[in-house]
Amino acid sequence: MDDIFDSSLNLEEAHLKEGFDEGYKDGLGSGKEDGKQVGLKTGFEVGEELGFYKGCVDIWNSAIHVDPTQFSSRVQKGIKQMEELIEKYPIMEPENESVHEIMDSLRLKFRAVCASMGVKLEYNGYPKSSSVEKEKIMLKSMLGCCKVYISESRNRAALESIERAAKLFPKAPIINKFVDETYNRVGYTLVSKLDPQPSSDPCPLRTSVLAMVKAALESIDLELHSGSHPRLGIVDHICFHPLLSTSLDQAANIAKSLAADVGYGLQVPTFLYGAAHGEGRTLDTIRRELGYFKPNSSGNQWVGGLKQESLALKPDEGPPHVIPTKGVIVIGATRWVDNYNVPVFSTDLSAVRRIAKGVSGRGGGLPSVQAMALAHGETVIEVACNLLDPNNVRGDRVQLEVERLAKEEGISVGKGYFTDLSQEKIIQNYLKLDSALAEEFRFVIYHEHKNEMKAFQTQLYSVELHRRRLEIKSKSKFKKKQKDGCSKSHCKDVITKDCEDKEPTDLGYNYDNENSSSFQQESGAAYLVPKHHQKLHWGLDTKERWERKANM
């Protein structure tokens, strides 16, 4: 009896300890990741500053080598001491207590050398653009993309539940949705801004995807699922891609963080691949190990949950055993990947498999292309391709290769299609949703090309001004014949005055007011679209007119 009461009385303490242990484990992983990011940032800043001082020392030593009398002996001694301090800095020992002392001494010595030379030189961080605003905006323009593939497309209620979960996080909207009822599969594409620096704030992209995964696991039962597309779980595959100035490492960090949440929080075995995996393991390697490509039912179909209770591969996160109703999840981070499917009008699966093998890089076909043959209805088999390097091997090239191989088999082929929008279109659609970010991009585009535009506009302005002068001169009422009793110079003065009084018609150009023009981009170049008219300053040459306008 005492033991029964003791267990009841100690229940709260047991739960507290269990919760502490779980929280400590999760917090330890998160803390290590945050610490790693802060360490990388600090190391980068220290390396930049040391590089700056080393560059100055190298330049000064080169000058001394050319002319030993270039600097005084005092300055040369200071340069030598700076060089010794740089060599002494323990780069590979960041925990060495002398790092701060050496860096402080190096800074003081640098200032002393500059003062002795009579030059004003100071380290202010890495070289910045002339526009601080531009730099801030480019930092803000870091975007991340996530593609989520879910094994369901016929259960409308489940899809609505998943999409409702995503809408709770408007900072990471769904940009595209691709539904294939034959495959019984849906793909979602989400985009959000990413923090350029490590932050304690939750990442909206990770939070939104996690909510979608949770909703999918709650509303879908893998044992009731069937389709002609292979899958390993309810949420079959999640991939993060960096966009714009985002690095692949940043995308990988989000993938790893999400994997920990899914694995331990939702208790689903989770596998990592690409940049998110320590050894860069590929997606198809995991799939082959887990039997992804082998149908478990007749008619080239995948039906029900995973039959294997014990997994052939140890998960990176989460429990080692699979729950049949949920399956497993594969999460990774890679550069941009396009998915391109080509319909082949045949029921001969073996022949289409030969075509798929001939197209893929693994089978000696196109490099960076992965392909497999999947039944898509009763009369069509698709060659489904992953284009791992779409900048070099595009969909049109895959289309031609499939057509060539199909012709050898005596089979006709339809026009292929992408299962998602292009990278550029996804960014464009996201910018339409985020008007504030779109304004920032227009600002950046303008300032990147401002000098070129000003030069071009000045030339255009001068040409138009000269044309108008000639036009007015040709239409002047004054004849070459002088009036009686008037000197030549008098007539000239009258003509000049009359011409000066004539104000040219409005040309419709506004060259200097940034706020009154809209900025557009075409083929990578920016240009101005005038909105308001502006009159010319008649009688001034181009340079003088621009100077006057600049001082207004």
284 within 8 A of 371, measured Cβ to Cβ: no
φ/ψ of residue 382, rounded to 5 = -100, 145
CA distances from 433 to 142, 422, 439, 518 (A): 16, 17, 12, 19
pLDDT level of residue 63 (50, 70, 90 thresholds): confident
Separation of alpha carbons 469 and 457, rounded Å: 18
Is residue 450 pLDDT above 90, yes or no? no
Beta bridge partners of 526: 521
Separation of alpha carbons 378 and 228, rounded Å: 11
Burial of 196 (0-12, 13-18, 19+ CB in 10 A): middle
* Nearest partner of 506 among 530, 529, 535, 532, judged by Cα: 535
- Give the model's pLDDT for residue 225: 95
Greatest mean pLDDT among 94-103, 139-148, 378-387, 489-498: 378-387
Residue-wise pLDDT for 391-412, tens only, equals 999 999 999 999 999 999 999 9
Separation of alpha carbons 207 and 173, rounded Å: 11
pLDDT level of residue 141 (50, 70, 90 thresholds): low
**At residue 481, what is the residue type?**
K
Q: Pick 478 or 353 by higher pLDDT.
A: 353
Instruction: Give me the residue label for tokens 């039962």.
Output: 221
Q: Could you give the count of Cα atoms lying within 13 Å of 265 in the half-sphere of its Cβ?
A: 15
Is residue 68 pLDDT above 70, yes or no? yes
Separation of alpha carbons 383 and 411, rounded Å: 13
Beta bridge partners of 180: 185
Which residue ranges make up each domain of the chain? 17-117, 137-335+419-433, 337-415, 449-550
Is residue 512 pLDDT above 80, yes or no? no
Mean pLDDT, rounded, of the chain:
80
CA quadruple 537, 540, 543, 547: dihedral, nearest 10:
-60
255 within 8 A of 210, measured Cβ to Cβ: no
- Residue 329's SS3 state is strand
Residue-wise pLDDT for 315-350, tens only, equals 999 999 999 999 999 999 999 999 999 999 999 999
**At residue 11, what is the residue type?**
L
CA distances from 391 to 59, 100, 400, 428, 456 (A): 41, 46, 17, 18, 33
- Give the model's pLDDT for residue 518: 38
Is residue 10 pLDDT above 50, yes or no? yes
- Catalytic residue IDs: 229
175 within 8 A of 421, measured Cβ to Cβ: yes
Q: Identify the CATH number of the domain defined by range 137-335+419-433.
A: 3.30.990.10
Average pLDDT over residues 278-290: 95
Average pLDDT over residues 521-544: 44
pLDDT level of residue 546 (50, 70, 90 thresholds): low
Residue 280, sorted as left (phi over 0), alpha (psi -120 to 50) or beta, turns out to be left
268 within 8 A of 262, measured Cβ to Cβ: yes
Per-residue burial over 117-149, b if 16 or more Cβ lie within 10 Å, else e, is: eeeeeeeeeeeeeeeeebeebbebbbbbbbbbb
- Give the model's pLDDT for residue 284: 94
Beta bridge partners of 239: 147, 332
Whether 337-415 and 137-335+419-433 are alike in CATH topology: the answer is no
Residue-wise pLDDT for 359-369, tens only, equals 999 999 999 99
511-515 long-range contacts, CB within 8 A, separation 24+: 511/454, 511/457, 511/458, 511/461, 512/546, 512/549, 512/550, 514/446
Q: What percent of the chain has pLDDT over 90?
A: 48
3-state secondary structure labels for all residues of 134-145: HHHHHHHCEEEE
pLDDT level of residue 13 (50, 70, 90 thresholds): confident
pLDDT level of residue 458 (50, 70, 90 thresholds): low
Separation of alpha carbons 541 and 493, rounded Å: 19
Q: Pick 126 or 154 by higher pLDDT.
A: 154
| Domain 337-415 in CATH 3.90.950.10 | no
